[in-house]
Each structure stands twice: as C-alpha cells, then as structure tokens.
Amino acid sequence: MGYIDTSEKLPIFYNVVQAVGKNCPNKRDDVMLIQYLLDWRYKNCQPRGAVPKGVIKVDGIYGGITQNWILKFQLDIMLSGGSIQADNRVDRIRDKESFCGSVSQMCYTLCWLNWIVADEEHEAFAKTGLFVPLQNPHSVPPPSNDMVIPAAPMMIPAVGGL
C-alpha cells in the first residue's frame, strides 16, 4: 500500500511499499498509486507528447497496459536526458538522500513521477490520497528485495508408445 514519505530534498512524496512492474509483487494499492501518477502525467502534464498504448485504469490490476505505461515513462525520461533505468519496474524509494538506486546508481522512476506530477499538477498531487488508498507511514514495513521469481516450468515425463 502506498504511503506519504518525506525527505530533506523532497518534503512530501508518494512511495510504494513493494515494487510495481515486471517480476514484482504488484500489490493492488501500490499498483493503483503508480497508475494514478502515470495517468496524471500523460493526460495533464506538459509536455504532453505521445500517450502510451492502451487506456490505463486506476484499478490496481497490473497487466500489459500498466507495463507499457511504465516503460513509456522510463523511455521518455531517458530521451529527455534524465538518469533512469528502463527496466519495467517502479521500485520503492529507499535512498532518500540521493534518490538513486544502490545498484544502478540511477534515479528512481518513482522520484521522476513524483517530481513531474507535483510540479505540473499541484492539486492532483495533493489529492492523491482521495483516489488511492494510502497507509500510515508509521506502520510501513521495512524494504524488501521485491523480486518475484517465476516458477520453473513443470516437466511432464514422456509416455512410452505414444
């Protein structure tokens, strides 16, 4: 479940408890937060540019359309010269000093989403909690690795004579 977080560099921003995207836990309320911010980014913020394929719904269901919108956003930031990794994931912001991932050393996708929507659509940013369930920040669990490993394919033994 998303929550309001704080830091010295960004006094108020929205964070997720678990990652959203390819091979991630994709918890309903975390997905809703990302869908809401992406929807505002592409439908209302400048420059508008091309909207990702498909109609995104703020329903908390992670699927192909949400994945397309995440990747489109990451590619747009890269093309504009921003430091971001196009990995189809929106990870929890852990380092609130540098806002960069410890492995990639690139800025978190969620930081970019927060910055853009907060800068361009103050009112929508402030009203996020009215449309997306948010958790009390004091009850947020510590960060986890947030990687879902797909199950190995089931091997079916060959049946002789068929």
pLDDT of residue 162: 46
pLDDT in tens, 79-120: 988 889 899 999 998 888 888 877 777 899 999 999 998 888
Residues linked to residue 2 through DSSP beta bridges, in sequence order: 134
User: CA-CA distance, 128 to 39, in Å (whole number)?
Assistant: 12
pLDDT of residue 134: 82
pLDDT of residue 49: 65
Query: Could you say which residues of the chain have pLDDT below 70?
Result: 45-49, 137-139, 144-162
Q: Is the distance from CB of 62 to CB of 26 less than 8 angstroms?
A: yes
Q: What is the largest CA-CA distance in the chain?
A: 70
State the alpha helices, DSSP H only, in the chain: 28-44, 64-79, 109-120, 122-126, 128-131
pLDDT of residue 52: 83
pLDDT of residue 46: 62
Burial (0-12, 13-18, 19+ Cβ within 10 Å), 84: buried
pLDDT of residue 151: 53
